[in-house]
Chains A and B, each alone.
Chain A
Amino acid sequence: MIRNFFRKPLSDRVLCLTFLMPCLLLLVFMIAYPFVTLVSNSFYRFSALRSAQPAEWVGLENYVFLLTDFELWERFIFTGRFVLVTVTLQFFLGICVAYILQRDFKARDVIFTMLMIPMMLCPIAVGFLWRYMFNSEWGVINYLVSLITGAKVNWLSVTDNALWAVVITDTWIWTPFVILLATAAFRGVPKSMYEAAEVDGASALFRFFNITLPLSAPILFIALLLRLIDSFKQYDLFFALTGGGPGSSTETVSFTLGKTAFSYFYTGEASALAVILLIIIIGMSLIFVRYLTSLAERS
Chain B
Amino acid sequence: MARVDIKNLVVRFGDFTAVDDVSMTIDDGEMVVFLGPSGCGKTTTLRCVAGLEQGTSGSIEFDGNAVDTLSPSQRNIAMVFQFVTLYPHLKVADNIAFPLRARGMAKPKIRQKLDWIAEVFSMGDLMKRYPPGLPPGAKQKVALARAVVREPKVLLLDEPLSAIDERFREEMRWELGHLQKQLGFTTIYVTHDQREAMSLADRIALMRDGKIVQIGSPADMYDRPVNEFAGFFIGSPGMNFVDARIEESTILLGSAGIPISAPGEYLAKVREAAGPEVRLGIRPQDVHLEADGDGDGLLKAEIVNSYAVGRERFFDFRIDDSVLKGMDPSGTGLTGDTRIRFPIEKVHFFDRTSGERLSNQ
Contacts and interface: CB of A to CB of B under 8 A. Distances in A.
Interface of A: 190, 192-193, 195-203, 206, 210-211, 214-215, 217, 298-299
Interface in B50-97: 50, 52, 71-74, 76-79, 81, 83, 85, 87-90
Contacts of A195: 52, 72, 79, 81, 85
A190 B83 CA distance: 11
Interface residues of B, number: 28
Interface string B299-335: 0000000000000000000000000000000000000
Contacts of A196: 79, 81, 85, 87
B89 A201 contact: no
A143 to B, nearest CB: 47
B83 A193 contact: no
A192 B90 CA distance: 16
Contacts of A211: 87
B73 A193 contact: no
A200 B81 contact: no
A298 B94 CA distance: 15
Nearest to B73: A201
A215 B83 CA distance: 18
21 contacts: A192-B83, A193-B85, A195-B79, A195-B81, A196-B79, A196-B85, A198-B52, A199-B52, A199-B72, A199-B73, A199-B77, A200-B98, A200-B146, A201-B74, A201-B76, A203-B102, A206-B101, A210-B101, A214-B89, A215-B87, A215-B89
Interface string B108-134: 000000000000000000000010110
Residue of B78, B90, B102, B103 contacting most chain A CB atoms (<10 Å): B102
A210 B98 contact: yes
B99 interface: yes
A299 to B, nearest CB: 4
A192 B98 contact: no
A217 B89 CA distance: 10
Contact of B130 (A199, A202, A215, A298): A298
Contact of B78 (A190, A199, A214): A199
Contacts of B85: 190, 192-193, 195-196
B2 to A, nearest CB: 16
Contacts of A203: 73, 102
Contacts of B83: 192
A256 to B, nearest CB: 41
Contacts of B88: 215, 299
B288 interface: no
B95 to A, nearest CB: 10
Contacts, number: 70
A200 B75 CA distance: 10
A210 B99 CA distance: 11
Contacts of A217: 89
A200 B52 contact: no
Contacts of B146: 200
Given A215-B88, A215-B89, A197 B102 contact: yes
B130 A200 contact: no
A192 to B, nearest CB: 5
Given A200-B73, A201-B102, 11 more contacts: A192-B83, A195-B72, A196-B85, A197-B87, A199-B50, A199-B77, A201-B73, A202-B98, A210-B98, A215-B87, A298-B89
Residue of A192, A198, A211 contacting most chain B CB atoms (<10 Å): A198
A63 to B, nearest CB: 42
B192 interface: no
A201 B79 contact: no
A202 B81 CA distance: 17
A243 B78 CA distance: 61
A217 B88 CA distance: 12
Nearest to A295: B89
Interface of B: 50, 52, 71-74, 76-79, 81, 83, 85, 87-90, 98-99, 101-103, 130, 132-133, 146, 150, 156
A196 B47 CA distance: 12
B79 A199 contact: yes
A162 to B, nearest CB: 41
Contacts of B98: 197, 200, 202, 210
Contacts of B132: 298-299
A298 B87 CA distance: 13
Contacts of B81: 192, 195-196
A201 B130 contact: no
Nearest to A213: B89
Contacts of A193: 85, 87
A203 B132 CA distance: 25
A299 B133 contact: yes
A211 B90 CA distance: 10
Contacts of A202: 73, 98-99, 102
Nearest to A200: B99
B69 to A, nearest CB: 15
Contact of B73 (A190, A192, A198, A299): A198
A198 B133 contact: no
A201 B103 CA distance: 7
A100 B269 CA distance: 71
Nearest to A195: B52
Contacts of B130: 298-299
B159 to A, nearest CB: 13
B113 to A, nearest CB: 14
Nearest to B102: A202
5 smallest beta-carbon distances between A and B, as pairs: A200-B99, A299-B132, A202-B102, A196-B85, A201-B73
A202 to B, nearest CB: 4
A298 B92 CA distance: 13
Contacts of B101: 206, 210
Contacts of B52: 195, 198-199
Contacts of A199: 50, 52, 72-73, 77-79, 156
B28 to A, nearest CB: 20
Contact of B102 (A206, A215, A299): A206
